[in-house]
A and B are shown apart, each in its own frame.
Chain A
Amino acid sequence: MTSRQITGRVAFLAVVAAFVVSLYRLELLDPSVVWPALQRLGEFVTELFPPNWDVTRTLLGAMGETLQIAFAGTLLGFLFSLPLAILATRTLFGGTVTTAARLVMGAVRTVPSLLWGVIFVIGFGLGPAAGALGVALYTVGYMGKLLYEAFEAADAEVVEAVRSVSANRLQLFAFAVLPESANALISQLLFMFEYNIRASSIMGFVGAGGIGYYMLGYIQLLQYENLMTALIITFVVVMAIDYLSVRLRSLILSPSPASAPSPFAGLVPSVG
């Protein structure tokens, strides 16, 4: 057996051991804990049925609010993440600027969106505004990282060619980095929107609006058949958005990044 094989086996055994220890410490290997819990979950699942469709109208309104939180939060977050991502791009700025921008985004990303929701509820009070701002702030940290990674992946020869015409940093971004990474940018914006719909659907747990507010209420009042309706509506909407997102991607983006028409064509006055 080679030393590489020995190392591989030791690593595998270490992972298995860590897994078993974790399960033990979490009491997930104790039948006296697990079995009653599974029984209670079984009872909970039976109480979810049949769903109560009488609350559909109310929940659809709340779901609309959730979508607004996700939409406004994603776009707000995108607008603030864009300049930060530009500053964090090493092909455009030096080490001090990029490190500072990355630190800001890293710090913002450390706080989960739900906690940002709590913080904004303190400032803005209960309601969807706090939810949208919570989602926006989390988006800044997350989207900013995705963006600067996409910007840095822009074709180095294109960036070098535009740099060689003595373009300044903003021109370099607008005429080389942005068009080269436009596909990735659109793709990540859609991904972030999908992600934020899921995040927004539980913003109501902390009073920050949307369908999560009703879900929490139904759990606290033991109205599980209403909760089931909320879960079905959330599931259907999330699946529909996922589908639309895939369709939108295939409409906007071509298969090869190298041969994609610019999604930004037409957003600025055309020359000529």
Chain B
Amino acid sequence: MMRDAAMPDVKTAAPPYLIAALAPAGQPAANGREPALVARDLWFSYDGRAHAVRGVDLAVPHGAMTMVLGRSGSGKTTLLKTLHGLLHPQRGSVTVGANGGGLRHRIAYVPQTLGLVRNTSALENALTGALARVGTVRSLLRLFPKSTVEQAKGTLASLGLGDKLNKQVYALSGGERQRVAIARALMQEPSVILADEFVSQLDPVTAEEILDMMRRIAADGVSFLITTHETDIVAKYADQVIVMREGAIVHDSRAAALTEAEMVDLLR
């Protein structure tokens, strides 16, 4: 985290893609698709002095895998939380979809440790994603609408957990828990899923299975913004790559435009 005398001192170079996406906000980007999420001049500080996020401008393309690459402490997690609204930026704005505000619940967030309730079932965890659209009393009594329960079952089944709906999360493997976290996110019917170091704790084979699955979901129109420090994952799975250093974006381009060696150089 870098200490700043005054916020506006640090400027990040906005890449052509971003300029196309941001001008004007919500209008179609160069690729013809509206960005699913746009952030403008985002600043966040935990203590009011050192900024963990510094003047971030970014646009998450619709139906694509965008990966935020950065070293530990580069501000990736804080950026995701600020984009979601779990942390309130001191300056800047976040716009979801073309219509702007009021759609915050359509951004799903998956923390690094997944945030699953371990002593309840996969199905109950998935249903948690639907809380915003189920009445308080119904949800407290666990009387979810039948259609919502069927949707949760279907989502879990599509992720390969059809036979483990009622298994407690603590009894599932790491990869299966990852799938439950995706199911919970999908139950929000999100336009964007923000995932923090999502596969960093998995073995390479399971990580690839999960990332393949995420690509399929992205192809259905859900955008992903995933933080990672693994360049090989970015090279293989990202459509767009954003490199962060000391809270600022230092690079933003199509992933294919960078080699792994160039990514490592950017991290230094």
Listed in ascending order, the chain A residues whose CB lies under 8 Å from chain B are: 155, 157-168, 170-171, 174-176, 179-180, 182, 258-262, 265, 268-272
Contact = CB atoms under 8 A, between A and B. Distances in A.
B205 interface: no
A176 to B, nearest CB: 6
A271 B121 CA distance: 10
The residue in B114, B119, B120, B149 that gathers the most chain A C-beta atoms within 10 A of its C-beta is: B119
Given A158-B116, A160-B115, 11 more contacts: A158-B115, A160-B86, A161-B114, A164-B115, A166-B132, A261-B168, A271-B123, A271-B142, A272-B149, A272-B152, A272-B165
A160 B80 CA distance: 13
Contacts of B104: 166
Contacts of B152: 272
A161 B152 CA distance: 17
B117 interface: yes
Nearest to A262: B119
Interface stretch (B133-141, B215-223, B226-234): B133-141
B131 A170 contact: no
Interface string B198-240: 0000000000000000000000000000000000000000000
A182 B140 contact: no
Contacts of A259: 118-119, 170
B31 interface: no
Contacts of B108: 164-165
Given A271-B124, A271-B127, A165 B119 contact: no
Contacts of A268: 141-142
B158 interface: no
B153 interface: yes
Contacts of A270: 142
Contacts, number: 101
Given A158-B117, A162-B128, A168 B136 contact: yes
A271 B165 CA distance: 10
20 contacts: A157-B111, A158-B116, A160-B111, A161-B111, A162-B115, A162-B117, A162-B128, A162-B131, A167-B131, A170-B136, A170-B140, A179-B117, A259-B118, A262-B119, A265-B120, A268-B142, A271-B149, A272-B123, A272-B149, A272-B152
A171 B117 contact: no
B144 interface: yes
A157 B116 CA distance: 8
A202 B144 CA distance: 48
B170 A179 contact: no
A112 to B, nearest CB: 36
Q: Which of B86, B142, B184 has the most CB of A within 10 A?
A: B142
A166 B105 contact: yes
Contact of A171 (B113, B115, B124, B131): B131
A265 B167 CA distance: 12
